[in-house]
Structure 1
Amino acid sequence: MLQHSSSCIEAPNMSSAVKEVTVKLPRSHDRPEEPWYRYLSIDVIWYVLGYTVFHPFVSWVVVLCLRAQYTPYGNPEMRIAIAWSILMSAIGIFGIISDRIAFGSPREVDLAEEVIVITGGVDGLGGLLAETYGMRSANVAVLDVKTMDQDEAEEKGVVYYQCDVSDAKQVEAAAAKIVEDLGVPTILINNAGIVHKKSILDTTAEEVEQTFRVNTLSHFHTLRTFLPHMLREGRGTIVTVSSVLGHLGAANLSAYTASKAALLALHHSLRAELAQIPEAKEIKTILVTPGQMSTQMFADVNPPSNFFGPTATPADLGKSIIKLIEKGESGEVAIPLYSHWIGFFFVLPVGIQQLIRRWSGLDTAVAVSRKLAEKN
């Protein structure tokens, strides 16, 4: 069980000077030996196709190459190349227009003028985001129940506040200190989360309540606390870290998946409410629905298929989140690839859905890991 602090610890003032951060790059012999095909996945193939066959610019380059060879416009290969280029360009333009209709114009983001609040920012995805922004001398406040000493916080370039985000009073106290130490928060990354890998019958009422308090209710506390500051500033970005399991559910993860499913509805409700507030025009929202991540929380769960369902790394997610934040855009981050297209799963006949669940091993992954743990 997690130990929750009863108060927020005052953080020291951070220097604005750029700090030298030592980086230890992984050596080749530090990495486990894996056959080459272990690194091949549908995500890698899709990524390559997206920058080649399905890229409008590359498609038109093929047309230009054919013309350079004096290929007549009437030839079949030229007609196919032009038609494909027009189709790829049309899809790209449609995507831009669709995003603009859905999310509006991007806001201007200057890290020197932003104050970033990250919950659960000691390790995992939150820790990576905090450290990345800290190395860039951004104003970063980390809220977490896990401890971080002052030297470690200064080395990472962040200001640390020991705070249980499931407690509304502690969040309010931390917010007051953040405003005093760093300024008005304008970027909120709701990342804190816990998991109990148990069946519904084995999970206690206290564990269910704790899961919802940390994974779900904490978002309400931080939104009620930090959103008014963003409205007064007339700008902001809110990142909601949910999970693809919020769509799917999974055996032996009932409390976790239910708490993450609630975040999906919360995100859409938040967007709908912000759309009705004139002062919220420049407040952007980002929904993150990752698949299984290579973090300590799910370290004992092996992905059923490394090709179709590879494990997402915090670096992959962090890169996409940071890109949207700094472009000042709203949007969604869904990694691996199946997370992005999960909506089509529910269009399939229920029998096909059940066969896919059995084939994927979705509902046995945690049970298998528990049996292995008991044997060890």
Structure 2
Amino acid sequence: MPPPTSRSSKPWHAHLTIDLLAYVASYTIFHPFVAWVVPLSLRAQRTPYHFTSFIVSVTYASLLTAFYAFSLINKRLAYGPPRKVNLDDEVIVITGGAGGLGLLIAEVYGMRGASVAVLDIAEIKDAESRGIHYYRCDVGDSAQVEKASSRISQDLGTPTIIINCAGIVNGKPLQELTPSDVERNFRVNLFSHFYTNQKFLPGMMSSANGGTIVTVSSVLGKIGAASLSDYTAAKAGLIAMHTSLIAELKQSPNRGARNIRTILVTPGQLATPLFASLTTPSNFFGPVVEPVEVAKEIMKMVDAGEGGELSFPLYACFIEWMNVLPASVLWAVRSMAGVDTAMKNFGINKTR
């Protein structure tokens, strides 16, 4: 007889997180359809209109519906209407696609028959069998990016979807960083986004259907962290660059530019080799995010032709509000959260 299937050694409550509770609530008590079931059920029982229970339930359902409607209108005004996406006509370029989040996205799109080009210095085994076109390229080198872009255009056509996932981390205090550490960090984590966008944007703008640009930043770009000064500075730069890019595209008279959709991704700690040695201070409030969940949400927005922002886990959506706290309270919160002590056991020079 085969041995019984091994189960996780974690207790059941270890899988309970605030994100899970929020997800369940969004499809139950915070969903407009479910909210309207209550007053409809009350009327089915012939509850009079003037009863408090009926008035409260209708008011709650109305407010929830108005909130959802406002959210949709807000997103439409901020990021524009969705563009039409047909994977048969799209050419997808993924930087840092030889591992982690980038490889997950590349493999899924490859299995779906899309034209996928991966730019990375690390090789991908059996790339062709996975439906991936691999191009060895240091995305922190503008000359190599330009050469790769020419080859991709010749082999696959004009790129229409750019997913910038490339990233490295040194994990050293500021005074221990060497000039080469700093230079390499900014070349890969920040400059590569400038190089790929500059090379591939003209092709997108030439098409009336535009394209999609995905910028993978980090929640640390919003709050900083000890022993990550170079990494967080680059990620903060990506957030600012993304905002500036949106403004430029909105102002452009080019129709293709106005149809380019942008997606900013600011995840918390991902369960990838890049931060494998880190432990989260609170698994309930700050769970480690599985790359497959992030990949799924990115591809969902890309496939829908939408623009917007993705933040994981839940705390990442509100982390910026920490900066409005009084300085003494802010540093007390950072201390309790363990933001500035998380890198103590981190390995040097790991890549995504």
Normalised to the residue count of structure 1, the TM-score between the two structures is 0.89
Q: Secondary structure at the match of 1:143?
A: strand
The one of 162, 180, 191 aligned to 1:206 = 180
The one of 102, 126, 130 aligned to 2:78 = 102
Shift of 1:31: 5.9
- CA 1:203–1:32 in 2, change beyond 3 Å: closer, same or farther? farther
Worse-matched range after superposition: 294-303 or 73-82: 73-82
The one of 271, 278, 281 aligned to 2:253 = 278
- CA 1:169–1:28 in 2, change beyond 3 Å: closer, same or farther? farther
1:93 — aligned with what? 69
- CA 1:111–1:300 in 2, change beyond 3 Å: closer, same or farther? same
The one of 71, 89, 101 aligned to 2:47 = 71
Structure 2: runs of 5 or more not aligned: none
- CA 1:225–1:32 in 2, change beyond 3 Å: closer, same or farther? same
CA distance in 1, matches of 2:154, 2:73: 41
Shift of 1:346: 1.7
The one of 52, 55, 60 aligned to 2:28 = 52
CA distance in 2, matches of 1:80, 1:123: 51
1:19 — aligned with what? none
Calculate the aligned-residue CA RMSD, in Å.
Answer: 1.5
Hey, which bits of structure 1, 4+ residues long, moved more than 3 A? 27-32, 368-371
CA distance in 2, matches of 1:299, 1:32: 18
Q: Is 1:113 aligned to residue 89 of structure 2?
A: yes
Shift of 1:155: 2.2
Cα deviation 1:88-147 (Å, max 9, x = unaligned): 001001101111111111111111110000000011000000001011000100000001
1:225 — aligned with what? 199
Question: Amino acid of the residue matched to residue 94 of structure 2?
Answer: I
Is the 2:221–2:234 Cα contact (8 Å) retained in structure 1? Answer: yes
1:352 — aligned with what? 329
2:312 — aligned with what? 335
Shift of 1:298: 0.2
- CA 1:312–1:112 in 2, change beyond 3 Å: closer, same or farther? same
CA distance in 2, matches of 1:293, 1:214: 18
Q: Identity rate of aligned residues, in percent?
A: 51
Q: Secondary structure at the match of 1:239?
A: strand
Q: Secondary structure at the match of 2:116?
A: strand
1:5 — aligned with what? none
Shift of 1:148: 2.0
Question: Amino acid of the residue matched to residue 168 of structure 1?
Answer: S
1:18 — aligned with what? none
CA distance in 1, matches of 2:293, 2:190: 24
Cα deviation 1:38-94 (Å, max 9, x = unaligned): 110110011111111111111001111111111111111111100000010010011
Question: Amino acid of the residue matched to residue 235 of structure 2?
Answer: K
Question: Amino acid of the residue matched to residue 243 of structure 1?
Answer: S
1:191 — aligned with what? 165
CA distance in 1, matches of 2:227, 2:5: 36
**Aligned residue-pair number:** 343
Normalised to the residue count of structure 2, the TM-score between the two structures is 0.95
